[in-house]
């Protein structure tokens, strides 16, 4: 590990000023950053510790029925928060399907949004990776790429975003609040992460020194609570990153779908919001035929980036599964294996 300076700011303004200095990196729980530092992928000259800043560790009810969530809230605390479980159950399910219990107890909401890809070539400093070293190439293109992107990838990068939480946030129109040298601004979560294009090293819309201070879940998203699920297929159900995943929400009125939300994970460098599929579902009767048609639209632009054509059909099927489970109704209690397609549904439906 390289030598680095350590800074503990007292205010958000001090943190932003320190973070704007070249070579700086913000430190929350460090569950991803410190691992990358140990293997030489991340080499910050300065760590700016956010753990003692005031005002970033609260959950506030909003007038529209939504929630404002401080960036330093721990994932486990958010997943078990009564209002999140009741009003945004798919978000809770996504959080509980991510990583191990120990990591969820440490990891923060803001840090989750900034997770780096788990592409093995990105994590191997002996491999060519345009995300880690712009212009060096992409060894994943001709390597072991069965788990890589099938949507939105480019010749420069075929990595995927690893977050479960962000898939649910994208589906339900979460907003990211940011503080930076130029002041405060907001970005819809669905626009926060970037597709690789020719600049895969630019992973988010954050500018240097900008700091995530909070997330907002809108009250409108709570209208999907009776019919919303997160489904994740992984190679190890106890804890692993998604091969593919889907967050789905339906608002059903008089036997028809009045509104729909669908986002996919494990398929692109960002959570993939399937707006065409959502639009096609409006007015349809909830059922397998409508859901298969919507899933086809969600993956209409998908193409293999290597030895991963199977992911396209797998993502279609997970999207259909998520929609079927959402239509059946949110369970009153989260399954013992959250988000697993193999989990039995606990008794009773969400009220």
Domains contained in the chain, CATH given: 1-54 (3.30.43.10), 224-328 (3.30.390.50)
pLDDT digit string (tens) for the chain, length 351 residues: 689 999 999 999 999 999 999 999 999 999 999 999 999 999 999 999 999 999 999 999 999 999 999 999 999 999 999 999 999 999 999 999 998 889 999 999 999 999 999 999 999 999 999 999 999 999 999 999 999 999 999 999 999 999 999 999 999 999 999 999 999 999 999 999 999 999 999 999 999 999 999 999 999 999 999 999 999 999 988 789 999 999 999 999 999 999 999 999 999 999 999 999 999 999 999 999 999 999 999 999 999 999 999 999 999 999 999 999 999 999 988 888 899 988 887 756 665
Residues 97-130 pLDDT 10s: 998 889 999 999 999 999 999 999 999 999 999 9
Distance, in Å, from the CA atom of 150 to the CA atom of 171, rounded to the nearest integer, reads 19
**Torsion-angle region of residue 103: left (phi > 0), alpha (psi -120 to 50) or beta?**
alpha
What predicted TM-score, i.e. pTM, was given to this entire model?
Answer: 0.96
Per-position DSSP letters for 132-198, written without gaps between them: TSTTS-BGGGGSS-TTS-SSS-BTTB------SHHHHHHHTT-EEEEEETTEEEEEEHHHHB---TT
90 in Cβ contact with 228 (< 8 Å)? yes
CA dihedral 68, 75, 314, 149 (to 10 degrees): 80
% helix, strand, coil for the chain, step of 5: 30, 20, 50
What confidence score (pLDDT) does residue 269 get? Answer: 98
């Amino acid at each position: 590990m390289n030598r680095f300076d350590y800074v503990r700011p007292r205010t958000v303004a001090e943190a932003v000023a320190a973070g704007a200095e070249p070579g700086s990196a913000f430190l929350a729980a460090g569950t991803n950053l410190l691992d990358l530092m140990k293997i030489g992928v991340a080499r910050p000259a300065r760590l700016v510790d956010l753990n003692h800043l005031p005002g970033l560790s609260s959950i506030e009810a909003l007038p529209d029925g939504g929630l404002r969530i401080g960036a330093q809230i721990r994932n486990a605390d958010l997943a078990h928060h009564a209002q999140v479980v009741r009003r945004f159950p798919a978000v809770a399910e996504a959080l509980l399907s991510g990583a191990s219990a120990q990591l969820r107890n440490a990891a923060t909401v803001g840090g989750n949004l900034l997770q780096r890809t788990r592409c093995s070539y990105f994590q191997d400093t002996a491999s060519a990776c345009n995300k880690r070293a712009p212009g060096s190439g992409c060894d994943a293109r001709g390597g072991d790429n069965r788990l890589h992107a099938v949507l939105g990838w480019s010749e420069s990068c075929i990595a995927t975003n690893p977050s479960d939480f962000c898939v649910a946030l994208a589906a339900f129109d979460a907003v990211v609040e940011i503080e930076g040298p130029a002041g405060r601004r907001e970005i819809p979560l669905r626009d926060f992460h970037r597709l690789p294009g020719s600049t895969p090293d630019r992973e988010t819309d954050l500018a240097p020194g900008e700091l995530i201070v909070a997330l907002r879940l809108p009250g409108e998203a709570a209208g999907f609570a009776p019919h919303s699920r997160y489904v994740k297929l992984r190679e190890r159900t106890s804890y692993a990153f998604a091969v593919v995943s889907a967050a789905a929400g339906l608002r059903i009125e008089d036997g028809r779908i009045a509104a729909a939300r669908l986002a996919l994970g494990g398929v692109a460098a960002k959570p993939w919001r399937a707006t065409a599929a959502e639009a096609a579902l409006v007015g349809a009767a909830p059922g397998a035929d409508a859901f298969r048609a919507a899933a086809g639209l969600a993956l209409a632009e998908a193409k293999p980036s290597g030895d991963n054509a199977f992911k396209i059909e797998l993502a279609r099927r997970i999207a259909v599964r998520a929609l079927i489970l959402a239509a059946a109704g949110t369970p009153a209690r989260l399954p013992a294996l959250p988000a697993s397609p193999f989990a039995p549904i606990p008794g009773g439906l969400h009220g």
